[in-house]
Chains A and B, each alone.
Chain A
Amino acid sequence: NAGVTQTPKFQVLKTGQSMTLQCAQDMNHNSMYWYRQDPGMGLRLIYYSASEGTTDKGEVPNGYNVSRLNKREFSLRLESAAPSQTSVYFCASDRATEAFFGQGTRLTVV
């Protein structure tokens, strides 16, 4: 039982480069989330998807786009990376009683 799988685990980007963070869950959950974690700020919600085909902005959506490809997959795209996007990114899925998290992607933008 893999749970929530994120790829890659680590990434270094140059300013202006683009990349997509992948997330997949095998628990048949409807809701999926992308958070970023910065020191002293907890986890801040970037985007979430309550069901396949729907996405909504969270607290800090600027500079990001998302795609809910199907029920299993929810990707996060940085079109033009900036140093302010250096962070640890977590994907989660939710069954309305508990959220399950991936192991995180540590992204550094130089």
Chain B
Amino acid sequence: AQSVTQPDIHITVSEGASLELRCNYSYGATPYLFWYVQSPGQGLQLLLKYFSGDTLVQGIKGFEAEFKRSQSSFNLRKPSVHWSDAAEYFCAVALYSSASKIIFGSGTRLSIRP
């Protein structure tokens, strides 16, 4: 079955430290891959996406993600986090066709330690 796994439910990092959020997927083919961020009480905002080509993609707010086909992973990274990065982060995948649908992981809540 198609699935997206985010193994870390909650991560706390110190402000200025580096960050990596993990995402693994299970699909028959390489899907389209996304990372979304949700601030408290808000909808979801797209951080970055991967369709093809360069496996290291840059997104907004200084985030990047690397697609590794051999590991079926699409981990999100940021070199130095800011207090405003505290939010919930969702990895998502889609197989676009005539009936496309987007499947989300369960999310990772990021807290920032001052």
Interface size on B, residues (CB 8 A): 25
Residues in A neighbouring B96, C-beta threshold 8 A: 96
For A51, the closest partner residue in chain B by CB is B98
Chain A positions within 8 Å of B, measured between CB atoms, are 4, 31, 33, 35, 40-45, 48, 50, 54, 56, 58, 90, 92, 94, 96-99, 101-104
Residues in B neighbouring A54, C-beta threshold 8 A: 99
Known A40-B9, A42-B105, A97-B49: A31·B44 in contact at CB below 8 Å: no
User: When the two chains form their complex, are residues A102 and B100 in contact, meaning their CB atoms are under 8 A apart?
Assistant: no
Residues in B neighbouring A35, C-beta threshold 8 A: 104
Residues in A neighbouring B103, C-beta threshold 8 A: 45
Proximity bits, B54-76, A CB within 8 Å = 1, else 0: 00000000000000000000000
User: When the two chains form their complex, are residues A98 and B46 in contact, meaning their CB atoms are under 8 A apart?
Assistant: yes
Known A42-B107, A43-B90, A97-B51: A103·B101 in contact at CB below 8 Å: no
Residues in B neighbouring A96, C-beta threshold 8 A: 96, 100
For A40, the closest partner residue in chain B by CB is B106
Chain A CB within 8 A of B43 CB = yes
Residues in B neighbouring A90, C-beta threshold 8 A: 43-44
Chain A CB within 8 A of B102 CB = yes
User: When the two chains form their complex, are residues A94 and B102 in contact, meaning their CB atoms are under 8 A apart?
Assistant: yes
Residues in A neighbouring B100, C-beta threshold 8 A: 31, 50, 94, 96
Within 36-53 of B, Cβ neighbours of A (below 8 Å) are at 42-46, 49, 51
Residues in B neighbouring A58, C-beta threshold 8 A: 101
